[in-house]
Amino acid sequence: MKDHRVLSGMRPTGRLHLGHYHGVLKNWIELQNEYDSYFFVADWHAFTTHYSDKIDLEKNVCEMVVDWLASGINPNTSTIFVQSKVPEHAELHLLLSMSTPLSWLERVPSYKDQQLQLKTKDLATYGFLGYPLLQSADILIYKAGLVPVGEDQVAHVELTREVARRFNYVYGRESDFEEKAETAASKMGKKQAKLYRSLRKSYQETGDDEALIKAKALLGEQKNITLGDRERLLGYIEGVGKIILPEPESLLTKASKMPGLDGQKMSKSYNNTISLRDEPAEVEQKIKRMPTDPARVKLTDPGDPSKCPVWQLHEVYSLQETLDWVVEGCTKAKMGCIECKTPLIKSVVDELGPMQERIAKYQSDSNLIQEIIFEGSERARVVAKETMEDVRDAMGLTY
């Protein structure tokens, strides 16, 4: 299965809510059926902004993994792991830091934005400046092709591409690179090698993008060359040397349509969330307290759904029939807001019900969760170790 590897991570900084579910997890769940998927808890990343807070990491990490599983992430097809259980990430981060210009990190938008947003914290730290590079290491160490992220993270994937390109350029030049590449080409068989060489020539001489695409596809089809040779041959087409760390692409997740209780985007920092673990009574209370169109003071005052946060939730949860019922009842002042909220409460409670049953099941079996994290991290580590061998080798660190 699955030519591309998908990788994404989440910081364990609090309870998951419906925004995470609709905005991130549902997307991961779709991807895991199509790709070789790696999902991890970015526990080290939590320290880049919360280094002085006492976070109960063990509890947060376990709860997060439980919520992932209860949402439908499948530990048999996806690799679920915890960053700090794969310490190779730190080694790659260190090595990449040697060749990463400070200016690349300083111009990542989140660097200045977050310092402004989190004014109460002193974020003039080395770790905070470097955190997008740690993220690059997270991605590159799995040679991930696709990184599903939200808009705010695209710049980090872009940085990752630049970091990879520079690394390949600086360290991909084996002294006998050309010779090795030629030998590798021959291993494809006469006919294929000839095709490869002519595509390479045409790309190098005329910059023919078609030829590049065809050559890459040709390499993708080869069964009897090693991964190392494939990377060498890829690099040889473009004349850059061996590609040790392939450049990933971001897979932009459409902005979550999940509105919070106040109509702003659902987010912990706005205090407008419904948690995946909120009990029915809590859900009911939260929705009942939602503000509505301020024009509707009395039942007889007509309202305008477009001015009402409750309507936005209906747009996520309700079928056309219910939507029509809301518009009719609201604009013609035929029903009160509590009545309007009733089907919504039911929809959310019904959505969370089965999830909460699974949460309870997993939560009562902490050994199982430990095991899933342990096994996933071991699986991830095998891949991470392989990449580190290539990296050390390229940098001359295997003496």
Contact residues: ligand TRP, CB under 6 A: 7-11, 42, 45, 135, 138-139, 147, 149, 153
Binding partner of residue 8 among ligand TRP, ligand SF4, none, CB under 5 to 8 Å per kind?
Answer: ligand TRP
How would you classify the pairing of strands 36-41 and 5-10?
parallel
The least distance separating ligand TRP from the CB of residue 388, rounded to whole angstroms, comes to 17
Order the strands of the 79-82 sheet from edge to edge: 79-82, 36-41, 5-10, 146-149, 249-252
Closest approach of ligand SF4 to the CB of residue 131, in Å: 41
Q: Which is nearer to ligand TRP, 23 or 305 (CB)?
A: 23
Measure the CA–CA gap between 90 and 44, rounded to whole angstroms: 10
Q: How many residues does the chain have?
A: 399
Calpha distance 238→247 (Å, rounded)? 14
Tell me if 305 contacts ligand SF4 by CB under 6 A: yes
DSSP string computed for 124-148: -SHHHHHHHHHHHHHHHTTT-SEEE
| Residue among 345 and 394 whose Cβ is closer to ligand SF4 | 345
The token pair at 8 is 């994404």
Which two structure tokens, joined as six digits, stand for 372?
């899933």
Q: How far is the CB of 8 from ligand TRP (least distance, A)?
A: 4
Residue with token string 């947060």: 60
Instruction: Give me the least distance between CB of 392 and ligand TRP, in Å please.
Output: 22
Of the two residues 85 and 296, which places its CB atom closer to ligand SF4 in the complex? 296
Does the protein bind ligand SF4 through residue 261 (CB under 6 A)?
A: no
Q: Which is nearer to ligand TRP, 81 or 325 (CB)?
A: 81
Q: Which does 138 bind (CB under 5 to 8 A by kind): ligand TRP, ligand SF4, none?
A: ligand TRP
287 contacts which partner out of ligand SF4, ligand TRP, none, CB within 5 to 8 A by kind?
Answer: none
Which of ligand TRP, ligand SF4, none has residue 310 at its interface (CB below 5 to 8 Å by kind)? Answer: ligand SF4
CB of residue 9 vs ligand TRP: minimum separation in angstroms? 3
Alpha-carbon distances, residue 209 vs 23, 81, 201, 244, 258 (angstroms): 35, 38, 12, 22, 40
Strands 36-41 and 249-252: unpaired
Among 183, 246, 190, 182, smallest CA distance to 220 is for: 246
Segment interacting with ligand SF4 (CB under 6 A) among 214-222, 303-311, 361-369, 372-380: 303-311
- Look at residue 143 and give the partner it binds from ligand TRP, ligand SF4, none, a contact being a CB closer than 5 to 8 Å depending on partner kind: none
**Interface size with ligand SF4, residues (CB under 6 A):** 14
- For residue 185, the tally of other CB atoms under 10 A from its CB is 22
What is the Cα–Cα distance from 153 to 252, expressed in whole angstroms?
Answer: 9
Nearer to ligand SF4, 42 or 287 (CB): 287
Contact 380, 142 (CB under 8 A): yes
Q: Which CB, 122 or 339, lies closer to ligand SF4?
A: 339
Strand partners of residue 250: 147
Applying CB under 6 A, does 311 fall inside the site for ligand SF4?
Answer: yes
Of residues 60 and 347, the one with the C-beta less far from ligand SF4? 347
Report the distance separating Cα 93 and Cα 91, nearest Å.
5
Outline where DSSP puts E strands in the chain: 5-10, 36-41, 79-82, 146-149, 249-252
Asked if residues 54 and 314 have their Cβ atoms less than 8 Å apart, the reply is: no
Contact call for residue 310 and ligand SF4 (CB under 6 A)? yes
Window 272-301: contact mask with ligand SF4 (x via CB under 6 A): --------------------xx--x-----
Sequence-distant (6+) residues with CB within 8 A of 68 are 25, 28, 39, 80
> To the nearest whole angstrom, how small is the minimum distance from the Cβ of residue 394 to ligand TRP?
22
308 binds ligand SF4 (CB under 6 A): yes
Name residues contacting ligand SF4, limited to 318-357 (CB under 6 A).
Answer: 326, 329-330, 337, 340-341
Residues near ligand SF4 (CB under 6 A): 292-293, 296, 303, 305, 308, 310-311, 326, 329-330, 337, 340-341
